[in-house]
Chain A
Amino acid sequence: MESRYSFVRKDIVNEQPPPLTQAGLTGWLWRNLFSSMTNFTSLTASFQSILMVFLTFWLVYFCGGLLYSVIDFAILSAVWSDPDGVKRQVCATVKQGGELPADWYGACWPFIFAKKKFLIYGRIPTEELWRANLVYAGLVLGMGYIIWEKGQGRKWVGLIMLTIFPVASLILLTGANFEINNQLFIWTGVLFAIVFILGFLSSRNYLGEIFEQFSILFNFISLILLSFFILLLLFSIDYGLAPIDTLDWGGLLLTLLIAITGIVASLPFGILLALGRRSDMPIARVLCTMFIEFWRGIPLITVLFAASVLIPLFLPAGADVDKLLRAVIGIILFSSAYMAEVIRGGLQAIPRGQYESASAVGLSYSQSMRFIILPQALTHVLPGIVNTFIGLFKDTTLVSIIGIFEVMGIFRSASQDANWGSHVQHATSYLVAAIVFFVFCFGMSRYSMYIEDKLSRENK
């Protein structure tokens, strides 16, 4: 007997396209724009819809207007060339002695073109620019190769970029041939020999149990001393390059130099500080905590002033440390403290079971950190790390206040140039500075998002 609910389908329903409000461009517009302003079923809903219509139009009008004024300033109304070489007058209105209408307001690009060399290299003499160009080329090629995922041996290129490249760049940019005190050479050499022999003997267990535990530390210190010795040697050689004062470096070259040095150095220091702060050893913990809290507690401007004004007062006469070097060290210490706290957050997110199972299979502390804990912790806090990098990149602008001319400093000094004095000089400078910083920071941000995405895909 047939039940009340029995049913057999006779005609098969074919696949049909979705309604216009669902798919494609119309669907997108419907979901994101019109769905909120087409409900007129009740008084309140109609009121809301009308409000949304006004709000949408106003936003479009406002943003469009803003965008138009920027485009108008930078492109449409801008002055692009100075064929007669009149400098100031090319961007001046009739009243100011030029030919432009009285209400003209636009970018003065000839001014930027004229300052191009200054913006990219600072005050490096023109005949020595090839040295800076080599550094730029090495940087672009090296970084490009590391980012290019199909490249063979990216690890080795990375290693070269972290070791040989910075040394070669500094030699190129300074000209090396420094006069280095012989005593410094001798002392470094002697110290290296002592520590190296200590490390060798203790790792072979000639000096007893207590020394054996420190053999890694000895080896580490002797490696640092050896690198220092080699560096001293390399920088004392005469390569036939004309010397360039570090205070003549400037512009983008200097911004990149400070930012990249800070970024590359603050990550390992930050990791060490974070591990130290979570260490079981009270001395390490207290020292790292004090270090972090000290550097986090003072503003970067203070650090830079101290580096440029205070430290020379404490150094013995004659022992002059380069002003730029002092500033860079200050920035590294400062950002390491921030980095340490970001990484500590990642370490705390790792469950205790990971530490335990790493120990249980017999991995030593450094092995479990290297293979188990840090890869996971750093992945967790990648957004925070890149955030710190971007912050650091922008903080480099502060060094201009102690007379080091990175991008902002160059712009500030360029816009004081009376030869180009006009009412748009500052606005043009700041627009270009904003574009330069935005390109680098946005690039870092996108690249980190790509890496995050890649890592999360790999682990699923």
Chain B
Amino acid sequence: MAKSIKVRASNKNGLTTVKALMSHPMKVEKKDKKTGEVKPAHFIQTVTCEHNGKAVLTAEWGAAISANPYLSFKFNGAKKGDTLKVSWVDNKGENATVDASIK
């Protein structure tokens, strides 16, 4: 499984718009009707976005977020060239982090 986050952060008049696309299956717990076998859920639980070490957005997700999740938000107080750190942790303890520069 590719563990990657694509982030595009653009600054316009002091307002930074962040768009992030993560690569993750986001599976709901499912029971096979024929065999009764339970396939465990696998989804991102927490996404944190930090600017200068300060959390600008913390998202708590359930399994009802679509596969390969998309997240967009806006915040103030960043300059062009600043770094935005986006990371996620899923319910299996897997994680990914990316540093994106604000354009």
A is bound by B: no
Interface residues of A, Cβ cutoff 8 Å to B: none
Interface residues of B, Cβ cutoff 8 Å to A: none
